[in-house]
Amino acid sequence: MLRVLVASNNPGKVKEIQDLLEGLPVEILTPKALGIELSVQEVGESYAENAALKAMSFVKKSGVLTLADDSGLEVQALGGEPGIRSARYSPKPGASDADRRKYLLERLRASPRPWMAQFKCVLALATDEGKIQFTTGECEGEIIPLERGTNGFGYDPIFLLSDHNLTMAELTTQQKNKVSHRAKAVNKMISYLEQHL
């Protein structure tokens, strides 16, 4: 089995990645399972920079092949915000996902609908020798003012998929993994992972 550390403390992301890699001879490890406590400051100016920062920090600390995800939501009417700041998009200290959705909707209230949006994901796979590979994925949709669905995480309940009359939070993990930005990026990463098998 190939051991791969997923450099994330976000259980939603880890579960999706784990399900996407099911069937491969890969053992997914988390920082918690390895007893690693490391908080990486996401000071990069792009998803790729932040994904690389996380992957390199965790591979250095663990010595285990490391996969990091940096992702975010880009809303056209807000000039691409919250983007790389998606996880921190609220002025409230200790804000929750629900607080961030509420804040996003407040920011959008003055703009005419539809509020077109995209999820973006960049994955970085880093080796102990300092080599790094990137893949990307995108998913098109629209922000809606009332939450629908209880699955997923983050902005899922207010992200209506373009080709379905369903929000991301109305999909099961299996369904989300057929269409999401993260699924597209993970599927492209499989051939790089296979090089390590």
Which residues contact ligand IMP (rule: CB under 6 A)?
A: 42, 69-73, 86-87, 119, 152-156, 168, 180, 182
Query: What is the C-alpha to C-alpha distance for residues 84 and 49, in angstroms, rounded to an integer?
Result: 10
Give the nearer residue to ligand IMP in terms of CB position, either 164 or 196.
Answer: 164
CB of 25 to ligand IMP, least distance (A): 26
Whether 128 is a known active-site residue: answer no
Residue whose CB is nearest to ligand IMP in the complex, by number: 154
CB of 73 to ligand IMP, least distance (A): 6
Give the nearer residue to ligand IMP in terms of CB position, either 66 or 86.
Answer: 86
Give the nearer residue to ligand IMP in terms of CB position, either 2 or 153.
Answer: 153
108-121 CB burial, b ≥16 within 10 A, e <16 = beeeeeebebbbbb
Do the beta carbons of residue 194 and residue 172 sit within 8 Å? no
CB of 63 to ligand IMP, least distance (A): 23
What's the half-sphere exposure (Cβ side, CA atoms, 13 Å) at 80? Answer: 5
Query: What is the C-alpha to C-alpha distance for residues 49 and 54, in angstroms, rounded to an integer?
Result: 9
Query: What is the C-alpha to C-alpha distance for residues 125 and 15, in angstroms, rounded to an integer?
Result: 17
Which amino acids are annotated catalytic?
A: 70
